[in-house]
Amino acid sequence: NLLSYLGTYNLPCLQSFIDHVKRADFSAVRVFLVYSVPGRHYPNNVGSHLHRVGALLKQHCTLPSKTTPESEGPLSWGIIAQASSIGSMGKSPAEWLRGSLLRSLASHTKGPLPMNSNATLSIVYPSVDNVMTGYYGHESGGCLPYSKATNEKQRWLQEYMHQWKAEAYGRTRAMPHIKTYCRVSPCLTKLAYFLVTSANLSKSAWGGPVGKDSGVYVRSYEVGVLYLPKFFDEEYLEIKRTLSS
């Protein structure tokens, strides 16, 4: 997949690096490469985050079954998305956020791909107060391109938003440029998967629907790494819970 991704650039200056990659031993790698490249893509094509992440989670992401009314089920595991830029998502959550992105991020082995997922989604994004009280003040906002005009067109997004906070690690005042996506247990101590990527919350990065078929159109180059517990001989990825984060 890495060679395929590098090849899409079609740049002679990359050939030397590609040759090095061809000679590398990746047998010990236990993560999945996920990438997006400009163009139109379909489910069997690995060129979009939307399709690739959904397919990998459908094949490898395990969540507890809901066997009794009191037991945890897949929907009790929330999804957290954290990015440094937010794109135009449409007039309602169903248009792209829940109908496309969350359909991918909520996939797992025990259920079909939902057409419009009911999974809980929390979006972590710095607020104006976060920026103004950050280490570099308003200058920190330069890496957080979410325009007021776009925000006004999708005010519904506010109900999903959560402030950036990382008190336990002393990073609340450091504005993030990282992009991460994960599915977390109700007790906030386990992850069903963890994705770190360059892909922000946008159709351009993940892929936006085109036409009435299952195709999506990607406008940017993106690359990330998906961690799945089973490839580390674990049921879930353990994380530390702190009340201040």
Binding site members = 179
Catalytic residue among 51, 138, 162, 177: 177
List, as residue ranges, the binding site for substrate.
Answer: 179
Could you give phi then psi for residue 86, rounded to 5 degrees?
-130, 130
Q: State how beta strands 216-218 and 179-184 pair.
A: unpaired
C-alpha 3/C-alpha 17 separation (Å) is: 10
Query: Could you count the other beta carbons within 10 Å of the beta carbon of residue 80?
Result: 19
Is residue 177 flagged as an active site residue? yes
Q: Which residues are catalytic?
A: 177
